[in-house]
């Protein structure tokens, strides 16, 4: 029997010769899946050819993030790291292909259902795309139209191919039917390969050269208020394998944002605007911003979603222009109690004007660890405010900085349930030994980092099992804005052990012992490690 497994009805043996034969449900499903794949592939290709903006699929993903990020937050999912994004895109593609199968089957007798389905598909993509601040309307229309046309065309061609196979049955006998079946599968396979190829080509074509070139051409001015040279210097800290370096290299710096497609900002058409409650609204070009960027400081930044012991924290040297200098030029009006950073991708984050101007390090940064900001970390410019979680302060891919009142505006994550104020909480992290590790007995290092920007850390203590708390040796820091490396030596004895650490800030406040998950304003609790000694 040549029937697709699962196909409920056998073909009537007396189908009229040359008449329209029934297409099997299996074949129709295959046709629908392939057609959906081709539609997605063509959409990717058109958007890839058009440049570096979003695609129809990524725009749908962005809609999803913007609409459902709040509920994901309740599930304690972190604020969109790399894995969440891959899962989201895979999910969207899987759903689209599954819907394609449904459309294919529905089109066996009523091909118009498939046509309408693909038009609706494309319309969903187009509406999402037009809503994306980085989308370009004409690209979206062309992508949607061609995507729908390709999907419909593929579906109709494959259904016809399947039907010819069926129609051949009574004319030429069952052997020929098997041959036609093969023809259908070959055709479907070939078209599927073309669709996948189009998708891959489209993704490869998304150009990043504009940003690559602009970064390469940027000459950073020598910082006037150079951060004390402490790039790798750790002072009292010996080399300990597994201990975080004082400065986190750019490639290792955590990345968190809602952008499914990294914004590639062309600086030739870009400027940073200062708007809202200011006397002299103005815009500044990339060149001017770079030429003014003689301020540099090492600042630890953390994501509010970081769990105790987690990796969503890093320490980098940031170079740029103090916010105070730029806001001075803008002339902040009385009552402008909130500074809002707006990104080219629509993201927003706001913090009190008081904090931005209280003398702490708060800057429009254009460089990170001595090189122009990587695209993933906000090229061409981002905000960095020492002591605040990224979600209320560190807007990447800055488009404008707006002065408003505290009550008049809520940033992206505030409207999704996170606390409006986001001071970073005092925290310690144990890097060594790693959790669950097996170590040899003898003198071993227990080491990690601790931070409490802007105050800084005065003390880190370590406890093994229920022993006394031992004060750790601290490394050197450039200021209280950064984390500090710490370590203690431990005489490891055979058996299982529990290690805990706790930090005290420079004002004498011990970090909170009570464990709490990140929502709504950051995790608390003393980090714990369990290890086995041989």
Ligand X SMILES: Nc1nc2c(c(=O)[nH]1)N[C@H]1C(S)=C(S)[C@@H](COP(=O)(O)O)O[C@H]1N2
Give 185-221 as a 3 state SS string.
HHHHHHHHHHHHHHHHHHHHHCCCHHHHHHHHHCCCC
- DSSP string of 47-68, one letter each residue: HHHH-SS--HHHHHHHHHHHHH
- Nearer to Mo ion among residue 306 and residue 478 (C-beta): 306
CB 492 within 8 A of CB 533: yes
Cβ at position 140, least distance to ligand X in Å: 21
- Residue 258 interacts with ligand X (CB under 6 A): yes or no: yes
- Residue 79 interacts with ligand X (CB under 6 A): yes or no: yes
Q: Which of residues 384-403 bind Mo ion (CB under 5 A)?
A: 390-391
Taking the C-alpha atoms of residue 177 and residue 161, their distance in angstroms, rounded to an integer, is 12
Both tokens of 93, joined, read: 């593609």
- Residue 347 interacts with ligand X (CB under 6 A): yes or no: yes
- Residue 343 interacts with ligand X (CB under 6 A): yes or no: yes
Residue among 530, 529, 469 nearest 503 (CA):
469
Helix, strand, or coil (residue 305):
coil
Residue 515 CB neighbour total at 10 angstroms: 12
Q: Which stretch binds Mo ion (CB under 5 A): 223-231, 286-294, 297-305, 368-376?
A: 297-305
- Residue 397 interacts with ligand X (CB under 6 A): yes or no: yes
CB 265 within 8 A of CB 505: no
- Residue 211 interacts with ligand X (CB under 6 A): yes or no: no
Q: Which stretch binds ligand X (CB under 6 A): 161-169, 339-347, 485-493, 500-508?
A: 339-347
Q: Tokens 């449900």 label which residue?
A: 25
267 binds, among ligand X, Mo ion, none (CB under 5 to 8 A by kind): none
- Nearer to ligand X among residue 291 and residue 311 (C-beta): 311
Cβ at position 344, least distance to ligand X in Å: 8
Among 203, 255, 420, 532, binds ligand X (CB under 6 A): 255
- Residue 303 interacts with Mo ion (CB under 5 A): yes or no: yes
Residue among 502, 314, 514, 529 nearest 426 (CA):
502
- Residue 257 interacts with ligand X (CB under 6 A): yes or no: yes
- Residue 395 interacts with ligand X (CB under 6 A): yes or no: yes
Residue among 396, 367, 361 nearest 223 (CA):
367
Taking the C-alpha atoms of residue 531 and residue 241, their distance in angstroms, rounded to an integer, is 16
447 binds, among Mo ion, ligand X, none (CB under 5 to 8 A by kind): none
Cβ at position 243, least distance to ligand X in Å: 20
- Residue 396 interacts with ligand X (CB under 6 A): yes or no: yes
- Residue 256 interacts with ligand X (CB under 6 A): yes or no: yes
What's the angle, vertex CA 346, arms to CA 344 and CA 350, rounded to 5? 100
Which residues here bind ligand X, judged by CB under 6 A? 79, 253-259, 303, 343, 345, 347, 377, 390-391, 394-397
Which residues here bind Mo ion, judged by CB under 5 A? 79, 256, 303, 390-391
């Amino acid at each position: 029997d040549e029937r697709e497994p699962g196909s409920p009805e056998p073909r009537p043996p007396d189908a009229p010769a040359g008449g329209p034969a029934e297409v099997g449900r299996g074949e129709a499903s295959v046709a629908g899946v392939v057609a959906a794949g081709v539609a997605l592939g063509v959409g990717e290709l058109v958007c890839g050819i058009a440049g570096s903006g979003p695609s129809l699929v990524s725009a749908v993903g962005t809609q999803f993030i913007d609409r459902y990020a709040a509920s994901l937050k309740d599930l304690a999912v972190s604020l969109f790291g790399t894995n969440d994004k891959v899962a989201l895109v895979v999910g969207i593609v899987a759903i689209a292909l599954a819907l394609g199968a449904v459309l294919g089957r529905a089109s066996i007798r009523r091909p118009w259902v498939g046509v309408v389905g693909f038009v609706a598909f494309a319309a969903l993509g187009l509406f999402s795309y037009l809503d994306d601040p980085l989308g370009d309307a004409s690209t979206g229309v062309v992508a949607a139209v061609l995507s729908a046309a390709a999907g419909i065309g593929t579906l109709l061609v494959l259904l016809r191919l399947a039907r010819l196979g069926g129609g051949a049955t009574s004319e030429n006998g069952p052997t020929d039917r098997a041959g036609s079946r093969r023809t259908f599968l070959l055709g479907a396979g070939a078209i599927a390969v073309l669709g996948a190829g189009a998708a891959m080509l489209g993704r490869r074509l998304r150009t990043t050269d504009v940003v690559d070139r602009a970064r390469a051409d940027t000459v950073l001015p020598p910082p006037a208020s150079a951060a004390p040279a402490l790039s790798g210097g750790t002072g009292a800290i010996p080399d300990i394998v597994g201990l975080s370096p004082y400065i986190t290299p750019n490639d290792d710096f955590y990345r968190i944002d809602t952008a499914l497609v990294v914004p590639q900002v062309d600086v030739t058409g870009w400027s940073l605007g200062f708007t809202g409650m200011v006397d002299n609204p103005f815009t500044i070009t990339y060149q001017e911003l770079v030429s003014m960027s003689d301020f540099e400081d090492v600042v630890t930044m953390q994501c509010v979603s970081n769990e105790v012991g987690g990796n969503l924290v890093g320490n980098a040297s940031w170079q740029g222009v103090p916010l105070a200098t730029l806001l001075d030029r803008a002339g902040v009006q009385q009552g402008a109690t909130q500074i809002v950073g707006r990104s080219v991708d629509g993201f927003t984050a706001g913090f009190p004007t008081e904090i931005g101007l209280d003398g702490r390090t708060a800057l429009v940064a254009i460089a990170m660890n001595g090189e122009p900001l990587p695209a993933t970390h906000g090229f061409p410019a981002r905000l960095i405010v020492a002591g605040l979680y990224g979600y209320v302060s560190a807007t990447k891919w800055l488009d404008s900085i707006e002065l408003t009142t505290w009550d008049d505006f809520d940033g992206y994550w505030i409207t999704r349930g996170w606390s409006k104020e986001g001071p970073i909480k005092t925290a310690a992290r144990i890097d060594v030994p790693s959790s669950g590790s097996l170590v040899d007995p003898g003198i071993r290092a227990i080491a990690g980092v601790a931070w409490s920007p802007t105050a800084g850390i005065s003390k880190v203590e370590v406890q093994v099992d229920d022993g006394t708390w031992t004060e750790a040796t601290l490394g050197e820091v450039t200021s209280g804005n950064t984390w500090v490396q710490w370590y203690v030596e431990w005489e490891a004895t055979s058996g299982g052990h529990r290690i805990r650490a706790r930090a005290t800030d420079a004002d004498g406040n011990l970090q909170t012992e009570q464990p709490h998950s990140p929502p709504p304003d950051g995790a608390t609790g003393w980090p714990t490690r369990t290890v086995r000694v041989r």
